[in-house]
Structure 1
Amino acid sequence: MPHMLEFMRVSLDYTALGLSPVALEAGPVVLRWYSLAYIAGILFSWWYLIRMIAKGDAPYTKPQVDDFITWATLGVILGGRIAYVLFYDLPKFAADPLSIFYLWQGGMSFHGGTAGVIIAVMLYANSQKISKLRLLDYVAVTAPVGLFFGRLANFVNGELWGRVTTVSWGMTFPGAGPLPRHPSQLYEAVLEGLLLFIILSLMFWKTRARLYPGLLAGVFGIGYGAMRLIVELFREPDAQLGTLSTGLTMGQTLSLPLFLAGAWLIATSRGRAINEK
C-alpha cells in the first residue's frame, strides 16, 4: 500500500489538464484533434515541399507538388489503415469487416502510412519520369512534422500511454489504472517528430545531402527506427498484442526493416551522388 501511495504522490493527473479529443462540435459536425493532426501534417508538407524548391536542383516543380499531395494523402490513409488492420488487430476486423472503414474510431499504423507514401512516391515519380529516390528524400524531410502533430493528438486523446513509472513527470491516464505512466506520446513527439525534423532540415539546408539520392530518406529511416526502438521501451505495448514471442513489441518489429533500409540507403548514397548546378 505505501508503494502505491508513493506512486500516486508523484504522479500528474492527465484529466486535470482538461483535454478533449474533440476540437470543435457544432450539431452533427464533430472535428477531432486527431483529424486536425493529419490535416496539419499534410498542409505543412505541401508548403515545405514548395519552399524546398528555393534551394535549387529540386526534382519536381510546384504543379507537381500540388498533384503529388493527393497521392501522398491516399498513401498515408490507405497504408496506415491496412497495416493497422493486418498487424495490430486482425481478429477484430475479421469478425467485423465493415469496421475497417470506420476511420473515425481510430486505428492507424505509422509504418503502414510510411509504406503507403513510399508507394505513392514510386508511382508518381514513375508517371512524371522524375527521380524516385530524390523525391523520397524531399518527402522524408517533411514527414516528421506529421509525426509530431500525430503524437500530440495521441496525448490529447489520452491514448497510447507509456509503462508504469516512478519519474516525477509520470501521469495517470483514464483507463490505464491508478499508477502513473510515462507520457510516451510526448517522448515520441519530441524525438520522432521535432528532433528528427530539425536534423533533416539542417542537413537539407546547410549541407549537400540533397545531392546524394537516398541519403535524407536513409537518415529518416535509421533515425525514426532507432528512436521508435528506444521509445517502445517506455511505451505500453498494445493490449491485444502485448510483447511478442521475440521479446519485441509490434512497434519495434516493424521499425527494424525501416532501420535496416535506412542504413542501406545511407551506405550506398555516395555512389549515387549528382553534380550541383
Structure 2
Amino acid sequence: MEHFVWGTDPVALSFGSVRVFWYGIFFASAILSGLQFIKWVYKREGKSDESMDALFTYAVIGIVVGARLGHCFFYDPAYYLANPLKIIAVWEGGLASHGGGIGFIIALWFYVRKYKMNFIWLLDRATMPTAIFAFFVRMGNFMNSEIVGTKSELPWAIVFSRVDEFARHPAQVYEAISYLAIFFLLTYLYKTRTSLKPGILFGVFLTTVFSARFLIEFVKTKQAAYSTEIALSTGQLLSIPFLIIGVGFIIWSYKK
C-alpha cells in the first residue's frame, strides 16, 4: 500500500544565518489566536483592556515555563538533573503539554489575585483559547515530524521520511483535530448556553482534552526517556489526574 510521505524541512525561511522554523510560526500563531479570542471574550463581558493585556503576559510565561519544566522532569528527569543548565535551553526543543497546563493554571491564580477577579470565571473562559492554542502547537509538531505514532498500515498512515521509512499513525494530527473539535464545542456552549454553571466549561475541557490525549497515547511512540512496569505510558499516567479533576468539576458545578 502506498502512503503519503511527509518530510518537510522544519526551517520555513532562511535569511543568512537567521532561520525561521515552522514550529515557531505555529507557536506564534497559537499565542496570537488565543490573544484575539480572549480579547473578544473580555470585550463581550465588559472587562478592561488593561487586565486583558496583563493576562496575556501571565499566560505566556506560565505556559512556556510550565511546559519546559514539565518536559524536563516528567519525561527525562535523570538527564536534566545531571545537566541543570540544559533546563533553560528551550531552543533545543522540549515542551510538555501537561506541564504547560499546570503552569497556565498557576499563572492564572496569581493573575486573579492581583486583579481581584473570580478564578472559576476565568478558568471557564480560558478553556477556549487554550484549546485553539493546543491545536496550533500540535500542527507545529507535525511540521517538525515529531511526536509520531506507531507503525500502521491504515490508509491514512503517513511515512515521516525524516524519522524512518515506515508508515505511522499521524498522532499529532489526531490530537490537533481533537483539540480543534473541542474548541468549537466549548465556544458553542459558551455562546449559546447562557445559564451554564460556573466551572462546567473547565470541567468539560479537562475531561474531553485528556480523554483524547489518553486514547491517542495508545498509538504514540514512546516519549519518556525511561520505562516503567506499568502498561500505561507517561502521557497517560499524567492525563489521569486531569481527567479526574475534570469530572470532579462537572459534578461540583451541578451540585453547587
Partner of 1:270: 254
Q: Show the 5 A alignment for 1:24-173.
A: 24-56=13-45, 60-173=47-160
1:198 paired with 2:184, answer yes
In the alignment, residue 73 of structure 2 is paired with which amino acid?
Answer: L
* 1:53 positional shift: 3.1
Q: Which moved more, 1:167-176 or 1:244-253?
A: 167-176
Partner of 2:2: 10
* 1:33 positional shift: 1.8
Partner of 1:207: 193
Contact residue 10 and residue 166 of structure 1 kept, 8 A? no
* 1:54 positional shift: 4.5
Contact residue 42 and residue 52 of structure 2 kept, 8 A? no
Partner of 2:235: 251
Contact residue 75 and residue 224 of structure 2 kept, 8 A? no
Instruction: Measure, in 2, the Cα distance between the counterparts of 1:27 and 1:100.
Output: 28
Deviation string 1:63-95 (CA, Å, 9 cap, x unpaired) is: 211111001000011000011100101122223
Contact residue 141 and residue 172 of structure 2 kept, 8 A? yes
Contact residue 10 and residue 167 of structure 1 kept, 8 A? no
Instruction: Measure, in 2, the Cα distance between the counterparts of 1:176 and 1:198.
Output: 33
In the alignment, residue 151 of structure 2 is paired with which amino acid?
Answer: V
**Which among 211, 217, 225 is matched to residue 240 of structure 1?**
225
* 1:239 positional shift: 6.0
Deviation string 1:6-33 (CA, Å, 9 cap, x unpaired) is: xxx3332222xxx221122212322212
Deviation string 1:144-188 (CA, Å, 9 cap, x unpaired) is: 111111111111101110011110121222354332110111111
Instruction: Measure, in 2, the Cα distance between the counterparts of 1:20 and 1:179.
Output: 18
Instruction: Measure, in 1, the Cα distance between the counterparts of 2:26 and 2:242.
Output: 23
1:22 paired with 2:11, answer yes
Matched position secondary structure for 1:10: coil
Instruction: Measure, in 2, the Cα distance between the counterparts of 1:180 and 1:168.
Output: 10
Contact residue 55 and residue 205 of structure 1 kept, 8 A? no
Contact residue 10 and residue 169 of structure 1 kept, 8 A? no
Normalised by the length of structure 2, the TM-score is: 0.94
* 1:97 positional shift: 1.9
In the alignment, residue 117 of structure 1 is paired with which amino acid?
Answer: F
Instruction: Measure, in 1, the Cα distance between the counterparts of 2:201 and 2:211.
Output: 15
Compared CA separation, residues 198 and 162, structure 1 to 2 (3 A): same
| Percent identity for Structure 1 against Structure 2 | 30
- Gaps spanning 5+ residues in structure 2: where? none
In the alignment, residue 221 of structure 1 is paired with which amino acid?
Answer: L
* 1:241 positional shift: 3.2
Contact residue 162 and residue 236 of structure 1 kept, 8 A? yes
* 1:249 positional shift: 0.7
- Gaps spanning 5+ residues in structure 1: where? 1-8, 273-277
